[in-house]
Chains A and B, each alone.
Chain A
Amino acid sequence: MGGAMADMTRQHKGEPLGQRIIVSGRVLDENERPVPGTVIEIWQANAAGRYIHQRDNWPAPLDPNFTGVGRVVSDKMGRYRYITVRPGAYPWGNHYNAWRPSHIHLSLLGPTFATRLVTQMYFPDDPLVPLDPIANSVSMPYRDRMVSRFDIDTTEPNFALGYLFDIVLRGRHATPLEA
């Protein structure tokens, strides 16, 4: 599964508005071994912070050239890479003046039932992360595991900024419940 599902800026006639980014990393187990063949499902808001979802009523503009859904599979070395635009922040009703930081939703199946993971990737220069109750549902320092790192070597000249984000699944045999 590559092609349009690995490049969320090429799913429509035109290009989406916003900062083009490349996100790259590895899927690993807790012993730092690569986990190949793992489906990574990606969904996110557009550059203005608006989801294409019918129930998102935040009056930021929709982008006809951006759906915000992608899908990639980790390779033999556990590596993955996709292209998208940086999602915008958006307000939500959790408390007065609450804003979600820019984030990308990620869903990984992994090799067994026990390795299932749904998480969110954040950005390193975002002042909203320390204020966000969802990011802070994970105590420090572990919250920072979800903060990507800007990487000049992943950045492509005259094209897109690059971010690194490794994803660590729990051990293959961590639970007696399933094979």
Chain B
Amino acid sequence: MDNQSKELFGQTPWQTVGPFFHFGLPWKGGADLTGNSELGARADLMRPEHDLLHTASKRGPVDGIRIDIVGQILDGDGTPVPDALVEIWQANSKGQYSLPSAVTDFIGFGRSATTEGGEYRFRTVLPGQVPGPGNSFQAPHIAVSVMARGLLKRLVTRIYFPDSDCNDTDPILELVPAERRHTLIARKEGDAYRFDIILQGAGETVFFDC
């Protein structure tokens, strides 16, 4: 049997991104959802004659409160992961997703390769509240995917904000044991928010099935 066998039809399985995705996935500016910087790519891992990392197209003005989110991807023993890929997906400042059904000029998707120190940085805007199950509203949050060598499929988590007054009523946070909720809430660090992601072991970040 193979990919074309009718009796095998179903979801294509995930496979790891491996260690060599840097020339294929990140792009210059991929981690900057508000401007035209080169944030997010790792040009140092490219051979100049093969540097096809494209640059984000020019963006118009983006409404909302601009924020930086910084963090480190850490393995179970606290070792930074230098070859992880972090992706974010979020609503705009009014709580609208950039879907065909709700067109916004804010793409709401970003991608960053980690540095040698396992660090990432996104520049974006604070998302608005979005509808949740039933008649509920979710607290402002950003959905996150983490991929890396050794991870067969992505890990999915969420960034919430410490200064939000509706985290206590968020229907997804309510599903998380109270003693682990803090792993989903960024903390203020200077002008930025810090959100470290611990892949396993003590203090492991809460990951969702997805």
- The minimal Cβ–Cβ distance linking A160 to chain B, given in whole angstroms, is 19
Known: A67-B50, A105-B17, A107-B25. A54 touches B99 (CB 8 A): no
Interface size class of A (residues with CB under 8 A): 35 or more
B1 contacts the other chain (CB 8 A): yes
Which residues of chain A from 69 to 86 have any CB-CB distance to chain B below 8 Å in the complex?
69
Per-residue B-contact encoding for A136-176, CB less than 8 Å = 1, 0 else: 01100111111111000000000000001111111000011
B3 contacts the other chain (CB 8 A): yes
Stretch at the interface among B40-48, B69-77, B178-186: B40-48
Interface pair A145/B3, CB less than 8 Å apart:
yes
Complex Cα spacing A106 to B3, Å: 15
Interface pair B44/A54, CB less than 8 Å apart:
yes
Interface pair B1/A41, CB less than 8 Å apart:
no
B20 contacts the other chain (CB 8 A): yes
Interface pair A164/B4, CB less than 8 Å apart:
yes
B13 contacts the other chain (CB 8 A): yes
Interface of B is mostly: loop
Which residues of chain B from 147 to 179 have any CB-CB distance to chain A below 8 Å in the complex?
147, 152-154, 156, 172
Interface pair A54/B47, CB less than 8 Å apart:
yes
Give the tally of cross-chain contacts (CB within 8 A): 146
Complex Cα spacing A53 to B53, Å: 12
Interface of A is mostly: loop
Interface pair A149/B44, CB less than 8 Å apart:
no
Contact partner of B13 (CB less than 8 A), chosen from A45, A119, A177, is: A119
Interface pair B13/A105, CB less than 8 Å apart:
no
Known: A67-B52, A105-B21. A113 touches B3 (CB 8 A): no
Q: Report, nearest first, the 10 A-B pairs whose CB atoms are least far apart.
A: A43-B24, A120-B15, A53-B20, A138-B13, A67-B50, A149-B4, A147-B2, A51-B20, A144-B1, A52-B50
List 22 A-B residue pairs with CB atoms under 8 Å apart, sorted by A's residue number. Answer: A11-B52, A37-B100, A42-B24, A53-B23, A53-B46, A62-B47, A64-B49, A68-B23, A111-B99, A114-B210, A117-B14, A134-B16, A134-B152, A137-B15, A138-B15, A143-B13, A146-B13, A146-B15, A148-B3, A167-B12, A168-B9, A177-B210
B: residues with CB less than 8 A from A are 1-5, 8-25, 44-47, 49-50, 52, 87, 89, 97, 99-100, 109, 130-131, 133, 143, 145, 147, 152-154, 156, 172, 208-210
A: residues with CB less than 8 A from B are 11, 25, 30, 32, 37, 41-43, 45, 51-56, 62, 64, 67-69, 105, 107, 109, 111-114, 116-121, 124, 134-135, 137-138, 141-149, 164-170, 175-179
